[in-house]
């Protein structure tokens, strides 16, 4: 057991001064206030941030889809570029890319990542010799980097709401329901203190309703996180209306037992009723502001959702940016640009945008990850972030402005040290194995360069 002390620690109710806590078997435990601490961590300590949505392989194509191919470029033309890139990634490349990504996540202050994983099979659609090879590559990458993982093997069966077959480049995503449940069962047997397994339904356009029902009835998800891409593009809202006679969120709320196990990723296009419906269900709205901006998706109705006490979390999705600060900043900035007002994301407990967003994303991210995270309290996994109190931005800051300064003061990374499950992964801003992992990443990218 090791005990720590910090000047301030961020707790669900706000900053707590002169905090002491211990870490035992990878979890926080309380200690007597007066006990001497083995180590003083620094002035500002935060719980680590969960990243609730990741397609790890996409990290390696950041910057490769920013050239206009057609004046009508959109999410759907980006997807073609992404599919072409995905076709070059096998298990070794996936592990190398994911490990590099997870190093970058840790250095930015994320301590858990939810992998929405659908790149299951060989490019021609045949399973690998070990059908779980790609899932295992992600588990190995997370273990090497030291980040917590919520692995969400993804069910993907159709190429559209009309039930059409998967396209050629989608074949490696697909499973018959039985094969999918076998994969899920196997992965669930690998759960540990840092690996949680849930499920993802890729989207309503990729999962027929009977298959969704079979997964929900399998007994394998009763206590597990369930994620789905829900209403990112107007085109899918229109297709859903045409073929299921309801908008995506409306259909899901009416046809699935949506509750706190669920995360609705890209709940972008919502009616007021759908917004209130998600909030009332307890499901997490999974928001990925930098990717949603990059793909031209649209803006989530943040103010209305917070007014309805909705639960939200953040993800870096396509990893066009790997920074919780930038996700939260753009979540707020989108609303400011649209409404021409300032300081939108506030709550009854705090008038600070930084405090509201950081606190909400910790809470919702932990729910989405299905893990005991998001607070420095007895029993929670010992994940924390120590900020660089020597950085000029943080000099002379009092607690009232600290998280606002962290989120809104520019681009120098203020994360100094990061612990996951009691282990230091990042010290003085650098991951413990950054060099080796970066070298292997470089070799992998050279193999698959276009
Ligand atoms: C994905 N990404 O699964 O990687 C998707 C694109 C799709 C985002 N939606 C593919 N951001 O939705 O069909
Ligand atoms: Zn996604």
Nearest alpha carbon to residue 299 among 324, 349, 333: 333
Nearest ligand to the CA atom of 166: 1
Dist. CA 52 → ligand 1 center (Å): 15
Dist. CA 44 → ligand 2 center (Å): 32
Q: Is the CB of 115 under 6 A from ligand 1?
A: no
Structural domain contains residue 70: yes
Tell me if 297 sits within 8 A of 287, measured CB to CB: no
Q: E strands of 12-48, at which residues?
A: 14-24, 27-29, 39-47
Q: Is 270 in the same domain as 408?
A: no
Tell me if 106 sits within 8 A of 415, measured CB to CB: no
Cα–Cα distance for residue pair 116/264, rounded to 1 Å = 12
* CA 444 to each of CA 63, 89, 99, 107: distance values in angstroms, whole numbers, following the listed order: 17, 9, 12, 21
Active-site residue, 266 included: yes
Q: Is 157 in the same domain as 9?
A: no
Q: Is 134 in the same domain as 280?
A: yes
Structural domain contains residue 449: no
Q: Is 117 in the same domain as 34?
A: no
Structural domain contains residue 292: yes
Domain range for 16: 2-47+378-435
> Domain of 145: which CATH number?
3.20.20.140
Q: Is 253 in the same domain as 346?
A: yes
> Domain of 419: which CATH number?
2.30.40.10
Final residue of a domain: which of 311, 336, 369?
369
> Of residues 317, 360, 383, 404, which has the active-site annotation?
317
Q: Residue whose CA is closest, atom 6 of ligand 1? A: 79
Dist. CA 230 → ligand 2 center (Å): 10
Q: Is 219 in the same domain as 310?
A: yes
Contact residues for 446 (Cβ-Cβ < 8 A; gap 6+)? none
393-396: long-range contacts at Cβ-Cβ below 8 A with a sequence spacing of 24 or more? 394/43, 394/44
Neighbours of 238 (CB within 10 A): 13
Q: Is 291 in the same domain as 310?
A: yes
Q: Is 351 in the same domain as 384?
A: no
Final residue of a domain: which of 351, 369, 387?
369
Alpha helices in 75-188 (DSSP H): 75-86, 91-108, 133-145, 177-188
Q: Is 108 in the same domain as 161?
A: yes
> Residue 244 CA to chain centroid, in angstroms?
29
Q: Is 191 in the same domain as 309?
A: yes
Number of domains in the chain: 2
Final residue of a domain: which of 337, 369, 401?
369
Q: Is 183 in the same domain as 297?
A: yes
What is the β-pairing status of strands 2-11 and 49-54? unpaired
**10 bridge partner residues:** 15
Structural domain contains residue 445: no
Cα–Cα distance for residue pair 384/85, rounded to 1 Å = 34
Digitized pLDDT (tens) for each residue of the chain, 450 residues in all: 899 999 999 999 999 999 999 999 999 998 766 667 789 999 999 999 999 999 999 999 999 999 999 999 999 999 999 999 999 999 999 999 999 999 999 999 999 999 999 999 999 999 999 999 999 999 999 999 999 999 999 999 999 999 999 999 999 999 999 999 999 999 999 999 999 999 999 999 999 999 999 999 999 999 999 999 999 999 999 999 999 999 999 999 999 999 999 999 999 999 999 999 999 999 999 999 999 999 999 999 999 999 999 999 999 999 999 999 999 999 999 999 999 999 999 999 999 999 999 999 999 999 999 999 999 999 999 999 999 999 999 999 999 999 999 999 989 999 999 999 999 999 999 999 999 999 999 999 999 987
> Of residues 202, 266, 269, 319, which has the active-site annotation?
266
What does the block give as tokens for 418?
């990061």
Please give the DSSP secondary-structure letter assigned to residue 164. P
């Amino acid at each position: 057991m090791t005990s720590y002390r910090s000047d301030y620690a961020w707790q669900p109710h706000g900053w707590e001064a002169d905090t002491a806590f211990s870490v035992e078997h990878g979890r926080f435990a309380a200690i007597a206030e007066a006990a001497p601490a083995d180590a003083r961590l620094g002035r500002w300590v935060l719980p680590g941030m969960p990243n609730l949505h990741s397609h790890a392989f996409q990290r390696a194509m950041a910057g490769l889809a920013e050239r206009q191919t057609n004046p009508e470029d959109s999410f759907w033309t980006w997807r073609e570029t992404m599919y072409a890139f995905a076709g070059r990634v096998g298990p070794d490349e996936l592990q190398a890319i994911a490990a590099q990504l997870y190093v970058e996540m840790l250095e930015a202050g994320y301590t858990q990542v939810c992998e929405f994983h659908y790149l299951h099979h060989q490019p021609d659609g045949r399973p690998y010799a070990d059908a779980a090879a790609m899932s295992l590559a992600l588990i190995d990458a997370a273990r090497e980097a030291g980040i917590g993982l919520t692995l969400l093997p993804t069910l993907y069966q159709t190429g559209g709401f009309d039930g059409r077959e998967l396209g050629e480049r989608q074949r490696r995503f697909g499973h018959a329901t039985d094969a999918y449940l076998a994969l899920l069962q196997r992965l669930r047997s690998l759960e540990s203190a840092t690996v949680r397994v849930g499920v993802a339904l890729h989207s309503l356009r990729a999962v027929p309703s009977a298959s969704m029902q079979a997964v929900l009835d399998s007994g394998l998800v009763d206590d597990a996180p369930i994620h789905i891409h829900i209403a990112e593009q107007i085109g899918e809202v229109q297709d859903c209306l045409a073929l299921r006679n309801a908008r995506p969120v409306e259909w899901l709320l009416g046809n699935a037992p949506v509750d706190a196990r669920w995360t609705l990723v890209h709940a972008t296009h919502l009616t007021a009723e759908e917004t209130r419906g998600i909030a009332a269900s307890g499901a997490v709205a999974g928001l990925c502001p930098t990717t949603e901006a990059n793909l031209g998706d649209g803006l989530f109705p943040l103010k209305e959702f917070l007014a309805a006490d909705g639960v939200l979390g953040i993800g870096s999705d396509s990893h066009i940016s790997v920074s919780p600060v930038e996700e939260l900043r753009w979540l707020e900035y989108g609303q400011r640009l649209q409404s021409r007002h300032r300081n939108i994301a506030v709550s009854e407990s705090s008038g600070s945008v930084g405090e509201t967003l950081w606190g909400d994303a910790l809470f919702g991210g932990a729910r989405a990850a299905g893990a005991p995270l998001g607070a420095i309290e007895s029993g929670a996994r010992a994940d924390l972030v120590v900020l660089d109190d020597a950085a000029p931005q943080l000099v002379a800051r009092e607690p009232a402005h600290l998280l606002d300064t962290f989120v809104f003061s520019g681009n120098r990374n203020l994360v100094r040290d990061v612990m996951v499950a009691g282990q230091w992964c990042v010290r003085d801003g650098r991951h413990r194995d950054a060099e080796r992992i970066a070298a292997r990443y470089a070799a992998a990218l050279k193999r698959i360069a276009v």
